[in-house]
Structure 1
Amino acid sequence: MIAVGLIVPKGENTNHSNQQRMQRIFLFLLLSFSLTASVQAQVTQISSNKSLQLITHLGNGKALLEEAGMHRLWVTDGSAAGTFQLADTLVFNNAGGLLNGQYIFAATSPAFGSELWITDGTVAGTRLVKDIYPGKTGAEPQDDFVLLNGSLYFSATTASEGRELWRTDGTDAGTSLLADLVTGPGGSALKGRYDLFSNGTFLLFNSVANSSAGYELWRSDGTAAGTYLLKDINPNGASSNPSSYQVYNGMVLFWAETAAEGRELWRTDGTTGGTQLVKDIRSGTASSINAGFPMPTISVLYPFNNRLLFMADDGTSGEEIWTTDGTEGGTYRLQDINPGADRSFVTLPASVPLNGKLYFAAYKPESGSELWETDGTTAGTKLFKEILPGLDGGIPFLMPNFKFSSASGWPVHQGSFFYFMFGLPADGGVELWKSDGTDAGTVKVKVIKTSDSDFGNLSYVYTTAGLYFSVDDGAHSDELWKSDGTQAGTSLVIDLNPNSGEGSDISFFPIPVNNKYVFTATNGDNAFMWDLYHLDGDLVPLPVKLQNFTAVLTGADAQLRWLTASEENTLEFVVERSEDGARFSRIGAIAAAGTATQQSYSFRDAGVATSHRSIVYYRLRTKDRDGKETLSKVVPLHLKGDAGFAVQLLGNPVQQEIRVLVSKTNAPVNLSLKDGAGRTVKTWQAKSEGSMLSLPIGNVAIAFHFCLRAKHLS
């Protein structure tokens, strides 16, 4: 179950050195990442002793849940009445993906075995998509369920083809085999080994379909003919096992292994020639990332300030922060924080971005674990604040507002500061701190307890009213607290499991459900089952308000700019482009700042003027953290042609309405609809540049042909 906050293990041994404690915290962060009002405000219980855990948010005000142990499917809209079981015979197989607000997933049923199902969060809308492998065994759909061109891709097994890649649009007819890469029942990979990835243009995946290669990098455009071995990175039958893909600057960066270089950083542009080693960071056959235990490297490529950050070990300085722009020369270590061969215990997924800098905890013997900062440069990577100067002491535990997507880091509380817990050395206690990114603005909020330095099961969520979090305060074990950033405004909210000595084991959902923050907890009435609650009050930030959106031609590039206000609930802006103003495709995305103040954004569509088009159209798809999406107005950009005004008909023939886009004018344009005899049957007026009008036909008599006339009023 993925929660917003990470969980700190109980029972920390105070006899360990601080470095040993950092190792334990680091390992737990690794595990957590991979699993992935007033003070008197109360909570509302919406389910009792069902042990429900989050699968995904459906984007329609509902969240899909799994009943632990039984693996039954449930749904909730954040209310007791809206929390119910979807099917009592389906067993969820822990695999699926979202498509158009519905969840397509693998589930086992008595009649079909493990097959492909779909749900919209209703009982009636939960149904079988396709019986891929008839019989009670089933096709066992698996492997990531990634999206490309309106279909989800996954692996499935049949008697005749073995395990191969399939695709689905959520219908029986639209569910089919992508390609039989290994003819016959042998299959092209084991279940769970494809490691599918989509950059929105093509798929990358692992396969052993080539008889002379191991698990290597394959590419697909979603067709059988366009599915092929991209590159045999580790030749002679060995496997390179590509993983941890990250889109960056028109490329996809990833980790792969060769006999000559070990496991190192690679890049691809989707071509064989463009699939290359970025840099052999640790020269020779040894790897720069540790894939084994006791302390494997978190191999995340973290986007920050137009570069990627990652952890690597060059063999001399231990595991430290590195940066790359996708080139060998642009790949280098930022700082040797803990000099020598020892690591600095930095966990990038647990870092906090704020005002152009990234804040994280790092360890070095002379100062212990303290707060560091980086702006993505060597000079800008430095100690930020030493809370206990000169002591090999406490441990700061940062509380970023996580999102689990291609771009890391949600906006912090009100876009102005972040919280962190600080465990004092020698069991000296636990303190809540906050920081606005300045030394003076990094202050202690409140001493939570003084008896020991165990946080307990720490889970949290940022809201408009402040931070809600669970912590062991020494008197109530793990219970619900709230802080508005002041000492007086930081206190226990409710003791859900009083006098148990075990606490309520709170775990927040990462995204609000129907404008409610939902969490799991136990009130102690059942030792083995937990309950579902939501926070009372209006605590969810408002969605984005888009104030302006423009596109101008700069040389051969399109420069897009937009302004927003009150975007505290916004996840990202997806930039979409169209050639006809009707069919749009994604060309990039920008993470939202998530503040309540005005923000400006820009996006460059490189080389669009060399495409031989005369006009292109842009729009923004704004994605909120609760799964909701909104579309901006369509903005046209003329790449060539005359200076006259333009009227574009969006969709022809028409049925209930006529959709037109007026551009290249600041003066009003009159539109008139004429029938086959030349008679005017309807008139409208477009008043400004970039006007997109939906013109209802109304009670106009149905005819085979109409003429739409535009007149420029200048």
Structure 2
Amino acid sequence: MNWFSSFQNSHRREQQKDTPLQIEQLETRALMAGDPVLLDIHDGAGSSNPQRFEEMNGFVYFAANDGIYNVELWKSDGTSAGTERVRNINPAGSGNPSNLTNVSGTLFFRANDGNGYELWKSDGTFGGTELVKDLDGSPGNSSLGRFTNVNGTLFFTANDGVHGSELWMSDGTSEGTVLVKDIRPGAVNSLVSDLINVNGTLFFAADDGNSGKELWKTDGTSGGTVLVKDIDPGASGSSPLYLTEMNGTLFFQANDGVTGYELWTSDGTSGGTQLVKDFNDGGDFSPFNFSNVNGTMFFSANGGTAGFELWRSDGTSSGTVMIKDINVGAPYSSPLYITNVNGTAFFQADDGLHDFELWMSDGTSLGTQLVKDIFAGAGDSSPQQLMNVNGTLFFSATDNNGDTELWMSDGSSAGTERVADLREGDDGSTPSNLFNANGTLFFSASDGVNGRELFALDLAVETGLVVTGADAGTPGIVRVFDAPGNEVLNFFPYTQAFTGGVRVATGDINGDGVLDIVTAAGPGGGPHIQVFDTSTGQLITGGVNNFYAYAPHVTSGVFVAVGDVNDDGFDDIITAPDAGGGPHVKVFSGKDGSLINEFYAYAPHVTTGVRVAAGDVTGDHRAEIITAPGAGGGPHVRVFDGASSVGIPIAGPATDFYAYAPNVLTGLYLDVGDVNGDGLGDIITAPGAGGGPHVKVFSSADASLLHDFYAYDPGFTGGVRVALADLTLDGFADLITSPGPGGGPHVKGFNGLDLSSLGDFYSGDPGNTSGLFIAGGVSLFPDDIEQPMLFSLPFENEQKSAEFSIEETNELELVPSFFKKKSWLDDADEFYSQAEEIDKLFSGLGIE
């Protein structure tokens, strides 16, 4: 199989582990699945102006105007088909939803159904989108705002027409939507603002009419809603601003009436609410733009002499320092939009030389530097809308052409680049409202043709995958693991009752850039091939996804491999029968299911079965087909041209050889991948049942042995299944092994360069000794992984396909029992009758 990167947008899955694979820290790479996709809500040149994004249950919700129903509630999964209006809340005008807030899977928002702006909720369906409560009981507005989720309860401000604007809470029911406390008794507003959840306690600023605006907290009860501290005694108030949590401590700006606006912290008690230090003696320090960067608070502040520069704090006086005077002297750099990306702070700043450009900092002066002068020379790029999406920074910026477009950065100058020119010419699409929803970047932009519309850019984190299929004797479950051994997906491709074993391979069958899993039924199951999407566990859409490789009544079982044999961008499916069938190899197009190639890999009457692999062993950018016989056949590896209609053998250093001694009749398992980084797919082999766990890797460049080792106890004779995939994301294929029958489902990983252990895990119950089939690949997954998805698809004995119906033109002929079956050495003599001796033919290629 080929190492490749695949891209997907999937719902997050909870990590479920067997024995963890103790793999070293892997590189993560956030990659784009193509260009941003236009989701045109308002047909024509009109603008839908999507805004107020919020994520819930795999969808992003927002307000938009489709030109028919005005501004209403919409949702999108990042596709055109999955973008739809949720409900027309105000048939006579605009529902104009705002303050969208996900509270434990319920979307709360403010909207107007024609009777004023009130509290609404939605589960994402038309029927589940409804008014929660009309707080003021009249056609007027309740002036709702500042929605905040605190452990599954919504807190917000509202005016019921009696108490003024005060603090409220809701559990999503009318009776559960109540005033928390009339902080300033009577109809006068208490000016509640800056709501923030700190470990289940809501902190906020409010004015009770006596102490001025000060720091408060609540546990959701009237009695538990209290003033934390009167920082500026008297009626003036300290006016707390920019409340931000870090490690359970609240950071904010406040004025005690003596030192001016300075940095304060609070643990929720009066004694624990204190001035960090008067950093600008005689003036205002005015800290703002707080950002928790891996346990260090970054912010902008005015230290006096240097003006507004970048600072950091651990909450102590000594631990609060200016990081760097970026614009040296009295002029200040005005850092803005501080954003944490994997422990590095990115921000906009002006050093006095480059104007406002993108900067980054690790919290040290030396590590605070210009990332790139995007608008070179006089003028600034004004990077804004900074957003971390799976470890990559996205933002809007203006280049020297005056185009304001979407940009991305990995922190290097070379890795800071424009994502796409969405609006050709000098105007720019001016992206705004950047929002990350499960690895998909949503934003609004104007391409100059369709108005300001919704765009989606699919991203995820690249990770190595291991796929296992149960061998005969147990229910045929397929499991998918990430490189550390976390199970991310499992499903039954046939039925749970089928116990003939499931063979697996990986590749991109439909050319959509997403890693697919190809399964083949073992003995008793018919030659039934199916193709599943790794993001869903469902049959893929587009391309071939379900067919019979041979006549449906053939029950010998099938082996399968995947590779793009004709370089059309679609990985093709290679099949071969198991024991009892002839060595009849077929190649089916992943694009349309047509039969590209079929041939006999060995003498037609050989009934040992054939194991297949695919990979580019010649460097022509096409996958060749590599074969080896099953049990009863010698260890004869052959390589064929996958694109030719008759399976022409390939000439080369390692295209026709014996991997072990010719009299080893256990059969072979094999795979292909570039282990040494020379651009050629190398061939990995291991014996079948009856052989020891002796794994070899042969260089396709010169047939030399790259690796030669025992993957398990040398005394184990159940055979070994092998695969190659770049688990460490270093550009070199790594080795994956699993035992055959008699060994537990013990998956091991070995570094392709030096065979150092990448760790191991068990695929399922360690006590299951039926064996595993195995494959590997590289895919993109969101950072967090949710509950594995379990599917069981119907197994049918009739030849049918959801996408194709491939007719069998040359039925696999089972060898009649009265035929005398020749030994493998007899067949070798027939194949190489013109050779003086086999040893000379295969000298240096692994004869033992």
- Normalised by the length of structure 2, the TM-score is 0.44
Q: CA deviation at 1:309?
A: 0.9
After superposition, the CA RMSD in angstroms is 5.4
Q: Over residues 413-452 of structure 1, what are the superposed CA-to-partner deviations in whole Å (9 max), with x where a residue is unaligned?
A: xx4x445565345x68678765433344445677788965
Counterpart selection for 1:266 from 212, 216, 226? 216
Aligned equivalents of 1:107, 1:447: Cα separation in 2: 35
1:278 aligned counterpart, secondary structure: strand
**Secondary structure in 1 aligned to 2:40?**
strand
5+ residue gaps, structure 1: 1-57, 62-76, 290-296, 402-409, 546-563, 567-627, 631-667, 669-683, 700-714
Who is 1:308 aligned against? Answer: 250
Give the Cα separation in 2 of the matches to 1:450 and 1:96: 33
* Aligned equivalent of 1:144: 99
Larger radius of gyration: 2
Task: Note if contact 1:460-1:508 (Cα within 8 Å) is conserved in structure 2.
Answer: no
1:320 aligns with 2:275: no
Q: Deviations over 1:682-706 (max 9, x none)?
A: xx96869xx999797999xxxxxxx
Counting only pairs closer than 5 Å after superposition, residues 412-423 of structure 1 correspond to structure 2 as 412=342, 415=343, 417-419=344-346, 423=350
2:122 paired residue number = 168
Distance 1:225 1:247 in 2: 23
CA contact (8 A) 1:321 1:333 kept: yes
Among candidates 338, 347, 353, match of residue 293 of structure 2: 353
Residue identity in the other structure for 2:106? S
- Residues 103-114 of structure 1: matches in 2 within 5 Å? 103=60
Q: Distance in 2 between matches of 1:429 and 1:198?
A: 39
Q: How does 1:2-13 map to 2 (within 5 A)?
A: none
Matched residues in 2 for 1:278 and 1:268: separation? Answer: 10
The residue number in structure 1 matching 2:195 is 245
The structure-2 alpha-carbon separation of the partners of 1:279 and 1:110, relative to structure 1 and needing over 3 Å to count, comes to same
Q: Mark the CA change 1:544 to 1:420 in structure 2 (over 3 Å): closer, same or farther.
A: farther
Contact 1:359/1:372, CA 8 A, preserved across alignment: yes
How big is each residue's C-alpha offset from its partner over 1:382-412, in whole Å with a ceiling of 9 and x where there is no partner?
A: 23334577x32341636633xxxxxxxx334
Q: Which amino acid aligns with 2:254?
A: A
1:395 to 312, 333, 341: 333
Q: How far apart, in 2, do the equivalents of 1:697 and 1:493 lie? A: 44
1:434–1:196 distance in 2 versus 1, CA, 3 Å: closer
AA aligned opposite 1:436: D
Q: Name the counterpart of 2:545.
A: none
Query: Superposed, which structure 2 residues align to 1:23-42 within 5 Å?
Result: none
1:360-394 deviation per Cα after TM superposition (whole angstroms, max 9, x unaligned): 333233333443221122221123334577x3234
- Output the amino acid matched with 1:85: D
Which residue of the other structure, out of 175, 182, 187, is the alignment partner of 1:225? Answer: 175
Whether 1:277 and 2:277 are equivalent positions in the alignment is: no
1:209 to 160, 173, 188: 160
| Equivalent-residue separation in structure 2 for 1:522 and 1:117 (angstroms) | 19
Deviation, structure 1 residue 469: 7.1
> 1: CA distance between counterparts of 2:325 and 2:47?
54
Give the whole-Å Cα distance in 2 for the aligned partners of 1:516 and 1:352.
Answer: 23
**Which one-letter code corresponds to 2:285 in the other structure?**
S
Contact 1:460 1:507 in 2 (8 A): no
SS of the residue corresponding to residue 233 of structure 2 reads coil
Q: Percent identity?
A: 32
Distance 2:112 2:349 in 1: 50
Q: Name the structure 1 match of 2:40.
A: 85
Q: Distance in 1 between matches of 2:788 and 2:73?
A: 40
Query: Which residue of structure 1 aligns with residue 310 of structure 2?
Result: 371
1:235 is matched with 185
Counterpart in 2 of 1:436? 362
Supply the distance in 2 between the matched residues of 1:215 and 1:209 (Cα, whole angstroms): 7
- Aligned residue type for 1:140: G
By relative contact order (CA 8 Å, sep 6+), the higher-ranking structure is 2
> Bigger shift: 513-522 or 167-176?
513-522
Q: Secondary structure at the match of 1:360?
A: strand
Aligned-pair CA distance for 1:333: 1.8
Letter in 1 for 2:280: N
Query: What amino acid is the match of 1:303?
Result: E
Match of 2:144 among 180, 193, 207: 193
Matched residue SS, 1:196? strand
Separation in structure 1 between the aligned mates of residue 67 and residue 419 of structure 2, nearest angstrom: 43
For residue 272 of structure 2, the aligned residue among 306, 327, 330 is 330
**For 1:88-138, what per-residue CA distance to the aligned partner results, in whole angstroms no more than 9, with x for missing partners?**
4996685675442345555667876766555555666566655656xx415
CA distance in 2, matches of 1:243, 1:169: 27
Q: Shift of residue 158 of structure 1?
A: 5.5
CA distance 1:333–1:396, change in 2 (3 Å) = same
Task: Report the CA distance shift for 1:116/1:284 in structure 2 as closer, same or farther (over 3 A).
Answer: same
C-alpha distance in 2 between matches for 1:139 and 1:466: 36
How far 1:218 sits from its partner (Å)? Answer: 2.0
Does the alignment pair 1:343 with 2:259?
A: no
1:620-631 to 2 correspondences below 5 Å: none
Residues 285 and 267 of structure 1, relative CA distance in 2, 3 Å threshold? same
Secondary structure of the residue aligned to 1:348 is: strand
Deviation at 1:251, TM superposition (A): 0.7
State how far apart, in whole Å, the 2-side matches of 1:146 and 1:364 are.
36
What are the Cα deviations for residues 251-302 of structure 1, in whole angstroms up to 9, with x where unaligned?
111122222122222111011110111122222222322xxxxxxx8x3321
SS at match of 1:147: strand
| Structure 1 residue identity aligned to 2:154 | L
Which of 25, 43, 57 is matched with 1:100 structurally?
57
2:155–2:170: 8 Å Cα contact kept in structure 1?
yes
Change in Cα spacing, 1:236 to 1:521, as seen in structure 2 (3 Å) is closer
Q: State the secondary structure of the residue aligned to 2:265.
A: strand
Distance 1:532 1:222, change over 3 A: closer
What amino acid is aligned across from residue 236 of structure 2 in structure 1?
A: A
1:663-682 matches, within 5 Å, as: none
**Partner residue in 1 for 2:301:** 362
Alpha-carbon distance between aligned partners in 1 of 2:350 and 2:430, rounded to the nearest angstrom: 20
After superposition, the Cα gap between the structure-2 partners of 1:228 and 1:432, relative to the gap in structure 1 and judged at 3 Å, is closer
Taking a change above 3 Å as real, the CA distance of residues 687 and 255 of structure 1, as seen in their structure-2 partners, is farther
- Cα distance in 2, alignment partners of residues 107 and 493 from structure 1: 27
Give, in angstroms, the shift of residue 460 of structure 1. Answer: 5.9
Amino acid at match of 1:411: V
CA shift, 1:485, in A, is: 6.0
Gaps of 5+ in 2: 1-8, 13-31, 466-481, 485-534, 538-743, 745-763, 769-786, 796-848
